[in-house]
């Protein structure tokens, strides 16, 4: 008489004569439960092959990225008549493009790093001819490139040569969905002044 999902909404709205449905959940939903309500309480119900009592939630069903087919089989009291209701639940890939950290081998980011801030500056001494950047993605399914070269999350990039003056370094994050991107920019200024204060 009804079929409820712990997350998502059935499309079309439930009707006992309709046996095929779809639903969409956010990426953050990794599992859901199904609660079936029989028209005849003498019938028996299985969700994905596991017995479930009427008006009782099934055990959580793990959701992979993409389409997940969940079946609810109702067997009448005569044990010969049955009906299968199918729900195709779609879990989309992540669209998280945030970094959780961005580190420099020399210099300090200004302002202090925040995932919502994408533009930074830093200053290094004239003696610093190169720098490495260590980006860490907030979502492990995302990928990141530093100045166009792929870097493993939490690992240092290859050394980036610095000229005297401003050097723009980019860290571009591409989400699991392959479409969503965000670019963080650090403008690293290498001083033109010689910091050598030694006597010879």
Q: Per-residue pLDDT for 72 more than 90?
A: yes
pLDDT at 135: 98
Q: What is the mean pLDDT of the chain?
A: 96
Q: Rounded distance, CA 185 to CA 108, Å?
A: 14
The CA-based dihedral angle spanning residues 72, 12, 179, 68, taken in that order and rounded to the nearest 10 degrees: 10
Mean pLDDT of 177-182: 97
pLDDT given at position 94:
97
Give the pLDDT confidence score for residue 194 in this predicted structure: 75
* Contact indicator for 61, 36 with CB cutoff of 8 Å: no
196 has pLDDT over 80: no
Alpha-carbon distance of 26 to 4, in angstroms, equals: 17
DSSP string for residues in 82-140:
EEEEEEEEEEPPP----EEEEEESSS--BS---TT--EEEEEE-TT--EE-EEEEESST
Confidence of residue 173 (pLDDT cuts 50, 70, 90): very high
User: If pLDDT is split at 50, 70 and 90, which confidence band does 193 have?
Assistant: confident
Stretch 16-23: mean pLDDT? 97
Is the model's pLDDT at 56 over the cut of 90? Answer: yes
Contact residues for 76 (Cβ-Cβ < 8 A; gap 6+):
40, 42, 43, 82
Cα–Cα distance, 73 to 44 (Å, whole number): 8
Confidence band of 82 (pLDDT split at 50, 70, 90): very high
Instruction: State the chain's maximal CA–CA distance in angstroms.
Output: 103
Cα dist. 162→106, 125, 143, 166, 195 in Å?
Answer: 11, 11, 25, 8, 16
d(CA 104, CA 122) in angstroms, rounded, equals 9
Q: What is the pLDDT of residue 77?
A: 96
Nearest to 86 by CA among 179, 137, 22: 22
pLDDT band at 139 (very low <50, low <70, confident <90, very high): very high
- Torsion angle of alpha carbons 146, 148, 153, 157, nearest 10°? -50
Asked whether residue 197 carries a pLDDT value surpassing 80, the answer given is no
High-pLDDT (> 90) share of the chain, %: 96
Would the CA dihedral through 51, 54, 59, 62 be positive or negative?
positive
Report how far residue 100's alpha carbon sits from residue 84's, in angstroms, rounded to the nearest whole number. 45
User: Which pLDDT score is estimated for 55?
Assistant: 97
């Amino acid at each position: 008489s009804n079929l409820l999902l712990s997350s998502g909404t059935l499309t079309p709205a439930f009707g006992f004569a309709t046996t095929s449905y779809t639903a969409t959940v956010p990426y953050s939903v990794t599992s859901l439960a199904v609660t079936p309500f029989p028209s005849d309480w003498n019938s028996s119900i299985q969700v994905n092959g596991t017995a479930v009592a009427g008006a009782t939630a099934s055990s959580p069903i793990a959701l992979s990225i993409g389409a997940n087919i969940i079946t609810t089989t109702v067997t009448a009291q005569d044990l010969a008549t049955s009906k299968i209701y199918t729900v195709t639940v779609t879990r989309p890939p992540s669209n998280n493009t945030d970094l959780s950290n961005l580190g420099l081998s020399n210099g300090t980011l200004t302002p202090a790093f925040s995932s919502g801030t994408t533009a930074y500056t830093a200053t290094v001494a004239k003696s610093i001819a190169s720098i490495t950047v260590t980006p860490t993605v907030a979502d492990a399914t995302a990928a990141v490139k530093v100045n166009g070269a792929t870097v493993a999350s939490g690992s240092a990039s290859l050394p980036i040569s610095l000229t005297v003056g401003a050097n723009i370094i980019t860290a571009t994050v591409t989400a699991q969905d392959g479409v969503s991107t965000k670019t963080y920019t650090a403008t690293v200024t290498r001083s033109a002044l010689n910091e050598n204060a030694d006597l010879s």
